[in-house]
Structure 1
């Protein structure tokens, strides 16, 4: 008998909110689209094509601000980054936040989570301790890159905050962009 990759009764992994944790594995397609070299948009869909989340922000700007929105356009999270010499430093604030440090939900150096994988291919796995909580696979083609459209396939395990996983994907994608 094969043991499933996930088990019932595990504690939820909620960083942004428990409303983004499902009791079943969730598979998503996350599409990245660059619009006219002025903005980048990510959209996360379930496999039925329902919009789950959207991320808006500029391309190649020094403010490195991305806003995570629910399907109705309500801001859930603001990602703010600082460009450093060889890497970017990120902080996530609740809602459409200002630079107030009192409402930081997480930063790029999140101590409770481990991200492993191939940085150059943007395919990775996310662990909480030894527990695998999400897998992200980047579907890269030269044609899609030239058209400014890229796609990720994301598997989020039960009781894991899928909005948090999408935020991590955006941070890693942005950190890979020069």
Structure 2
């Protein structure tokens, strides 16, 4: 059985919760399936164990995605707040959208032909001018990197497979101590923006 190398004294970067932070490198496979009326994303570890699921309807006026744990308990929901040239998403704990459950917002800060950049503001920093996290990605390759300041904390790459109509696959590498549910939520939002 695979035993990850534990990194000692790793500071936690917990956004969704401490349960999603491990003191070792976490590699995840993310599979998106698009049906006639809905979209579903499964997140599994190297052993094929289901960790997270994300569900949403394709026909909603305002986009909403709900992330659940492996037993389908809602962890958080992601909602498109503003439809404009630069999109803004809010992420709340659970299924509701009460202000007291707001965890963070994600704003499209730059949008060019081949690159995109998102700024993530934690609920405690909504009026701040400096974001808490940055997501720098590429439209073409559907890959991105997540930074806290100048420190790289996660990388996501799309895996291309011929004949995979109605679905996409991604590989996510989450660095030690980083909340993998938070990284998956950023993948979901970036994928929705790029759609």
TM bracket, shorter-chain basis: 0.7 to 0.9
Q: Residue 74 and residue 18 in structure 1: after superposition, are their counterparts in 2 closer, same or farther (change >3 A)?
A: same
Unaligned runs of 5+ in 1: 1-5
Find the counterpart in structure 2 of residue 16 from structure 1.
16
Please report the RMSD computed on the Cα atoms of aligned residues, expressed in angstroms.
1.7
Cα shift at 1:113 = 0.7
Unaligned runs of 5+ in 2: 1-5, 108-119, 121-130
Normalising by the residue count of structure 1, what TM-score does the alignment of the two structures yield? 0.88
Aligned positions, number: 168
Cα shift at 1:101 = 1.8
Q: Residue 70 and residue 87 in structure 1: after superposition, are their counterparts in 2 closer, same or farther (change >3 A)?
A: same
Of 145, 159, 183, 1:125 maps to 145
- Mean Cα deviation higher: 77-86 or 9-18: 77-86
Of 171, 181, 186, 1:163 maps to 181
1:27 and 1:46 in contact (8 A); partners too? yes
SS at match of 2:182: helix
Mapped pair 1:56 → 2:50: no
1:62 and 1:82 in contact (8 A); partners too? no
1:4-153 to structure 2, matched below 5 A, reads 8-36=8-36, 38-97=37-96, 99-109=97-107, 110=120, 111-141=131-161, 143-144=163-164, 147-153=165-171
Cα shift at 1:116 = 1.7
Q: Partners in 2 of 1:162 and 1:16 — Cα distance? A: 9
SS at match of 1:143: coil
